[in-house]
């Protein structure tokens, strides 16, 4: 059955790692009747965590989509696209991708653990993107569950718009139902999960009514007409309150709080009712698109309209062992039917969408069409990857993809066999097409491919998939730091080669004057030959010899920088001189000059710009000092501290993980190469020893 856009709900379950998003998703799917029993994360039997890496880690590592129909308490039937996301910070890109297409975020909070770092991070992301939010306090049946404490923390951290519309009946092992704050009734649950409505228990009536009065006033205060009637004594019905609350949820002025347990199912059906009744449809949230070229960029809003031009954004790509690549997309506008041809705006190639699907974890359901606002999938697209926009050829607009987290952690890849080496490049290309938060580079020093990820877990999962899906085995090594050498004084040397053994030999003499240049100057070569002692073609050979020598390190293994080489004299032989002879002589002379001119090691210095909580500023500054960093600027901004520092690149190899530990996951940073500086003497010997080993 195809639903109209106004009856579609796209909702992302987000939260701190371990808060229970996947368990909640499992309970929702069971109550919706699309799975026969609820699986267990620990047992690896959930419908949404099906990747071997997820089963091994007992936690989600990628977003999963599950679609189902739901008849809500208002009597309408809705189509819900549920997006379950990982809580581990290494997989933030999956959360960002889900929030990029969701119209509502349910922030899942543990009743035992309360507001955590991940809670704050997803809240901030939703705020940046103006995504409506509901809170669901789960694990109310667990030891240490304390709803009142969690509610107080939510209001303290996220403001007065946090509005409880449910209260728990009982707590911990005694949790058995929820109190409806708007209707002032109790929803009791039998052991088999069936719900029935009863009057509120006497012990909660006074407390519930007090909260009811406060919540009603808060809701009606957002509607001037309703507020005026309320002040005149006209008490709004629960249905009226819900309609007003839905508008306030869309406007992000109210953030309702619900309560339940994914493990027992208590309150789960009520959550889905509110997702449908309070959550916005895709038509309520236009999507920004851009059009134009490199010189003109035009932005516009596109409303989800089934009669509009077909337009979709691919937000996730997965590999399936049976059908190959599956591209998961949201229909931004229009109606997508089987075999429609759209153009990948990024690559310019046309794609035929054959075999449209709806997903429930690993289950694939064939559908004939998808309307504006819906989420679906298609198999075997050609060049289209994650983040691509597919549009009609006459409408080359782009839907901006979700931003990617910085991939600061890097590992050099060492193929186990030659066969692994042969397959590595293509396999990595496919891996990055699936997960663009991975990045690939090439290390010229070690001649190795380098894989960059968000953190240890991210890289470990990527390497596991590399072997499991593509049969490529690698080991990892540290990425070599790009040290350089330079000189500190000027010298003159004679580069000479003389080999004669009968017939043509080799003869060349190149007199070189070598001197240091300022930092960042690179390498300069000057032709100072007077009187033609060396012909012009041989001077060119000297230049080539110098260039090759500085690039290879002149025998020292590290490139030479910030140096001036002047060829001012030389000798030739009418028979034995050649371009090769002068190249060799120049390289030999330069190697001697470097040894005589006070060589020093240079290390790369990175410019690091950090944003950390003000409370962590002292610890962060102390850590930067221990890394030989130099703070060059700082500023404060709304409870956070902005720090700019110059730090040796060698001290930053695992900084992504270490900053996360220092700031409890709240710190972020960017890093860019800034300049080279002399390496302290006590470290130079260590680096040189490592180069020789």
> Do residue 489 and residue 555 come from a single domain?
yes
- The pLDDT of residue 500: 73
- The pLDDT of residue 690: 75
pLDDT band at 293, cuts 50/70/90?
low
Specify whether the CB–CB gap between 254 and 248 falls below 8 A. Answer: yes
Give the total number of structural domains in the chain. Answer: 5
Would 547 be classed as within a structural domain?
yes
> Do residue 353 and residue 275 come from a single domain?
no
Most confident range (mean pLDDT) of 252-266, 489-503, 568-582 is: 252-266
- The pLDDT of residue 92: 94
Cα dist. 499→493, 531, 585 in Å?
A: 19, 26, 12
- The pLDDT of residue 383: 84
Q: Quick one: which H or E segment has residue 569?
A: strand 563-571
pLDDT tops 60 at residue 390:
yes
pLDDT (tens digit, 9 = 90+) per residue, 517-536?
999 899 999 999 988 899 99
- The pLDDT of residue 141: 96
- The pLDDT of residue 382: 85
pLDDT (tens digit, 9 = 90+) per residue, 56-96?
888 899 999 999 999 999 999 999 999 999 999 999 999 99
Specify whether the CB–CB gap between 260 and 270 falls below 8 A. Answer: yes
pLDDT tops 80 at residue 292:
no
Specify whether the CB–CB gap between 429 and 382 falls below 8 A. Answer: no
Would 343 be classed as within a structural domain?
yes
- The pLDDT of residue 226: 87
> Do residue 666 and residue 573 come from a single domain?
no
> Do residue 568 and residue 532 come from a single domain?
yes
- CA–CA separation, 268 and 271 (whole Å): 5
Would 242 be classed as within a structural domain?
no
- CA–CA separation, 227 and 168 (whole Å): 28
- The pLDDT of residue 186: 97
> Do residue 74 and residue 41 come from a single domain?
yes
Task: Mean pLDDT check: name the lowest of 267-271, 289-293, 339-343.
Answer: 289-293
Mean pLDDT, residues 392-411 taken together: 91
> Do residue 460 and residue 434 come from a single domain?
yes
Mean pLDDT, residues 175-202 taken together: 94
pLDDT band at 446, cuts 50/70/90?
confident
Mean pLDDT, residues 177-194 taken together: 93
Task: Mean pLDDT check: name the lowest of 32-46, 174-188, 355-369, 414-428.
Answer: 32-46
Domain boundary residue, one of 581, 598, 615: 598
Would 215 be classed as within a structural domain?
no
pLDDT tops 90 at residue 502:
no
pLDDT tops 70 at residue 297:
no
Domain boundary residue, one of 477, 503, 537: 477
pLDDT tops 70 at residue 22:
yes
> Do residue 280 and residue 140 come from a single domain?
yes
- The pLDDT of residue 300: 87
477: left (phi over 0), alpha (psi -120 to 50) or beta: beta
- The pLDDT of residue 499: 86
Closest C-alpha among 13, 20, 48 to residue 34: 48
pLDDT band at 514, cuts 50/70/90?
very high
> Do residue 525 and residue 643 come from a single domain?
no
pLDDT tops 70 at residue 270:
yes
pLDDT band at 55, cuts 50/70/90?
confident
Would 194 be classed as within a structural domain?
no
> Do residue 469 and residue 339 come from a single domain?
no
> Do residue 18 and residue 30 come from a single domain?
yes
As a whole-number percent, the residues of the chain with pLDDT over 70 amount to 98
Strands 195-198 and 185-189: antiparallel
- The pLDDT of residue 1: 65
pLDDT band at 299, cuts 50/70/90?
confident
pLDDT band at 102, cuts 50/70/90?
very high
- CA–CA separation, 588 and 261 (whole Å): 76
pLDDT tops 70 at residue 654:
yes
Would 531 be classed as within a structural domain?
yes
pLDDT band at 693, cuts 50/70/90?
low
- The pLDDT of residue 188: 96
Would 236 be classed as within a structural domain?
no
Q: For all residues of the chain together, what is the average pLDDT? A: 92
Q: State which residues form the domain around 353.
A: 287-391
Cα dist. 366→17, 207, 321, 323, 353 in Å?
A: 33, 50, 18, 13, 12
Domain boundary residue, one of 391, 419, 440: 391
Would 444 be classed as within a structural domain?
yes
> Do residue 95 and residue 166 come from a single domain?
yes
Mean pLDDT, residues 103-131 taken together: 96
- CA–CA separation, 67 and 32 (whole Å): 10
- CA–CA separation, 686 and 683 (whole Å): 5
- CA–CA separation, 568 and 562 (whole Å): 19
Cα dist. 20→91, 139, 186 in Å?
A: 16, 8, 25
> Do residue 472 and residue 491 come from a single domain?
no
- The pLDDT of residue 405: 92
pLDDT (tens digit, 9 = 90+) per residue, 531-542?
889 999 999 999
Q: Quick one: which H or E segment has residue 104?
A: strand 104-110
């Amino acid at each position: 059955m195809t639903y109209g856009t106004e009856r579609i709900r796209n909702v992302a379950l987000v939260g701190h790692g371990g808060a229970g998003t996947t368990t909640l998703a499992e309970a929702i799917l069971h109550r919706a009747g699309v799975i026969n029993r609820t699986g267990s994360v620990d047992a690896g039997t959930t419908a949404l965590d099906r990747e071997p890496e997820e089963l091994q880690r007992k936690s989600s590592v990628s977003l999963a989509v599950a679609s189902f129909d739901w008849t809500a308490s208002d009597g309408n039937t809705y189509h819900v696209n549920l997006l379950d996301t990982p809580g581990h910070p290494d997989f933030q890109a999956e959360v960002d991708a889900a929030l990029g297409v969701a119209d509502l975020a349910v922030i899942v909070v543990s009743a035992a653990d309360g507001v955590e770092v991940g809670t704050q991070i997803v809240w901030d992301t939703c705020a940046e993107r103006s995504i409506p939010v509901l809170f669901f306090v789960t694990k109310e049946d667990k030891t240490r569950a304390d709803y009142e404490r969690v509610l107080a923390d939510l209001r303290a951290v996220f403001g007065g718009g946090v509005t409880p519309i449910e209260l728990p009946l009982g707590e911990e092992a005694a949790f058995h139902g929820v109190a409806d704050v708007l209707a002032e009734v109790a929803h009791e649950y039998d052991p088999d999960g069936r719900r029935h409505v009863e009057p509120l228990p006497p012990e909660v009536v006074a407390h519930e009514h007090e909260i009811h009065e406060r919540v009603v006033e808060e809701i009606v205060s957002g509607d001037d007409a309703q507020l005026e009637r309320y002040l005149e004594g006209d008490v709004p019905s629960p249905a009226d309150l819900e309609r007003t609350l839905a508008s306030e949820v869309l406007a992000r002025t109210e953030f309702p709080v619900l309560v339940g347990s994914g493990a027992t199912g208590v309150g789960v059906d009520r959550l889905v009712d509110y997702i449908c009744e309070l959550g916005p449809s895709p038509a309520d949230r236009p999507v920004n698109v851009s059009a134009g070229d490199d010189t003109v960029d035009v932005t516009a809003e596109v409303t989800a309209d089934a009669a509009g031009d077909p337009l979709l954004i691919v937000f996730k790509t997965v590999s399936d062992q049976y059908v190959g690549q599956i591209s998961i997309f949201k229909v931004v506008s229009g109606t997508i039917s089987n075999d429609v041809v759209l153009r990948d705006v990024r690559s310019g190639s046309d794609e035929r969408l054959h075999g449209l699907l709806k997903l429930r974890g690993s289950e694939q359901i064939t559908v004939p069409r998808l309307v504006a606002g819906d989420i679906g999938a298609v198999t075997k697209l050609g060049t289209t990857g994650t983040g691509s926009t597919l549009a009609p050829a006459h409408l080359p607009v782009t839907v901006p993809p979700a931003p990617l987290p910085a991939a600061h952690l890097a590992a050099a890849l060492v193929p186990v066999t030659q066969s692994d080496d042969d397959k590595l490049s293509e396999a990595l290309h496919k891996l990055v097409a699936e997960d663009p938060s991975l990045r690939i580079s090439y290390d010229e020093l070690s001649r190795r491919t380098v894989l960059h990820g968000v953190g240890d877990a991210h890289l470990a999962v990527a390497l596991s998939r590399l072997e499991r899906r593509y049969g490529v085995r690698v080991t990892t090594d540290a990425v070599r730091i790009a040290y350089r050498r330079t000189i500190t004084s000027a010298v003159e040397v004679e580069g000479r080669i003389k080999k004669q053994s009968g017939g043509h030999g080799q003869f060349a003499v190149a007199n070189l004057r070598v001197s240091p240049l300022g930092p960042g100057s690179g390498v300069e070569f000057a032709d100072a030959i007077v009187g033609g002692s060396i012909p012009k073609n041989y001077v060119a050979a000297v230049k080539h010899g110098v260039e090759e020598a500085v690039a290879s390190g002149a025998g020292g293994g590290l490139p030479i920088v910030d140096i001036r080489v002047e060829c001012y004299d030389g000798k030739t032989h009418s028979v034995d001189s050649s371009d090769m002879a002068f190249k060799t002589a120049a390289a030999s002379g330069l190697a001697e000059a470097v040894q005589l001119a006070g060589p020093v090691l240079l290390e790369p210095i990175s410019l690091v710009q950090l944003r950390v909580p003000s409370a962590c500023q002292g610890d962060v500054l102390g850590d930067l000092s221990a890394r030989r960093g130099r703070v060059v600027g700082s500023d404060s901004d709304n409870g956070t501290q902005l720090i700019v520092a110059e730090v040796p690149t060698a001290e930053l190899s695992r900084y992504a993980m270490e900053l996360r530990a220092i700031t409890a996951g709240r710190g972020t940073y960017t890093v860019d190469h800034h300049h080279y500086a002399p390496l302290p003497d006590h470290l130079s010997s260590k680096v040189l020893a490592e180069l020789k080993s």
